[in-house]
Amino acid sequence: MAKEAVGPLLTAFAGSADGRQDVLYPFWALQRNKLWEVADSADLPLTSRGRRPKLSALDEANPLAGLPKQDYDRLTEDLELAAWAVGSLLVRFFTPPPAQLLEALGLEELMAGQISTYLRPLPGEPYQHRNAIAEVYGGNRVLGITPLSDGLLTVYSDDKGPYADQRIPEMDWIAYTGDGLSGDQTLSAGNRSMAEAQERQKALRYWHKPHRGHWTFETWAVIVQRRRRWGRGQDGQQRREFVWILAPVPSPMQETWPAEVIEALEQDDGQLHDDSLDVVPLEVDSTPESKRTSAREKYKRLAAASRRTAAGRARSSKLTKMERYLRSPAAREAVILRSDGRCENPSCMGHPLERTDADAPLLEVDHVNGLARTGQDVPEVMVALCPNCHALKTRGRERRKLQKDLLVVARSRHRAFMEGQ
């Protein structure tokens, strides 16, 4: 009976060349996973590798099979539970569900066209800790990128955690740091799952825990881009890390996604956008291997990267705003390089050569006339200042004159690096 009932479904909706023959795999796999019972299964002769019974033996025995009685009773008595199970399976394996699938399964009335309505957890559900989430919905209790027991990918972001996850300013998209605490991140484990979700344009669940707050399932989200940037691992060392750009969506059903998200997905080529090539932190770029590249050559490369970023300011799409934000470190790194670790205010009377505990320059990079006023995020209008000079430039009585002087300095030093003077 399974061959007659399931075989045509496999042909119509799963691309099976011979659905009646291919019924054997799900028929037996469900039994092996204890989701399905097959009468007298222990007596069936198996194939040479012992993975499943011979088709001929199943045809001859034609055993009774089906859900365990307690599961069948629960699903038939609790239609909301049944809708939850059906919705989870559809979202996990069919995105979007093929037309006529629910009708062919006889589930149109049960789902009433509202697949995402029955999914659990609901956005906004709070839990005190990860163990509490796992007790209700299953899944791993520690990993940051992992599915719940329904198999749908879930990511967790803790404000006190080791990763630099953040909402991108002026927009609700999320820059989510990839999997791997120390050392360069690789496309494995959780990052591999994220890449697969990006390729299939499948939504995932985003959970967030603010400082001293509870875990909350904030939103469904879809990956619109994968980038690589420099970050600091748990060991305190600079490393290359993935950043997955998550765009919040109302549900995992694509017909509910905003036009700006659809536009971003259409523009996404699925490739890695590597921001770590142009913007290399000075503590990394000062290794013996990089000595062959002069400071002036590095500066020119960073300045070019900052100009590419600035050129996108005239465009207002969300994808452009996101890229501009993530690429902005190029200008800052260029100014720090140009400063040679010294405050660029010629009249500095503070501590122009002070260093941090990590032996980095104690400098603050600032736009001389403010980014909001100029709209330029390029090194020729930016300076590296010690905290004292930064305060004088921002709040000092003579700040207007100092700003004019610093703009001359910034442009002069920039020209010297670009022209080789």
Mean pLDDT split into 10-residue runs, the chain, 421 residues: 83 83 82 84 80 82 88 93 91 83 89 84 95 96 95 95 82 93 94 96 96 94 93 87 96 93 90 79 58 72 78 62 70 87 88 70 81 65 91 90 94 89 51
Residue with tokens 């967790």: 156
What's the pLDDT at 361? 73
Q: Quick: pLDDT tens for 256-294.
A: 999 999 999 998 888 898 888 766 666 666 555 555 457
Place of tokens 């004292």: 388
d(CA 393, CA 323): 29
> How far apart are the C-alpha atoms of 153 and 156, rounded to whole Å?
10
- Helix 295-311 vs helix 329-339: crossing angle, to nearest 10: 150
Q: Could you tell me which residues come within 8 angstroms of residue 285 by beta carbon, excluding any fewer than 6 positions away?
A: 293, 298
- Contacts (Cβ under 8 Å, ≥6 apart) of 330: 278, 279, 302, 303, 305, 306, 309
Helix, strand counts (H, E) of the chain? 18, 13
Give the integer Cα–Cα distance in Å for 156 and 208: 6
The two structure tokens encoding residue 343: 């405050």
Place of tokens 């972001």: 157
Mention every residue, 6+ apart, whose C-beta is less than 8 A from residue 91: 115, 116, 119, 152, 203, 252, 253
Which tokens in the block code for residue 2? 């399974």
Over the chain, what is the mean pLDDT? 85
Angle at 134 between CA 133 and CA 139, to 5 degrees: 125
Provide the pLDDT for residue 158: 94
Task: Return the number of other C-beta atoms located less than 10 Å from residue 191's C-beta.
Answer: 19
Question: Which pLDDT belongs to residue 278?
Answer: 67
Contact (Cβ atoms closer than 8 angstroms) between residue 153 and residue 204: yes
The single residue listed with the structure tokens 């291997």 is 289
Contact (Cβ atoms closer than 8 angstroms) between residue 212 and residue 257: no
Q: Could you tell me how far CA 383 lies from the centroid of its own chain? A: 33
Type of residue found at 408: V
Alpha helices in 268-398 (DSSP H): 282-285, 295-311, 318-327, 329-339, 371-374, 387-395
Specify the pLDDT at position 372. 45
Residue written as token pair 């209008």:
381
Under 8 Å between Cβ of 155 and 245: no
Domains in the chain (CATH in brackets) are: 2-118 (no CATH), 126-275 (2.30.280.10), 285-419 (no CATH)
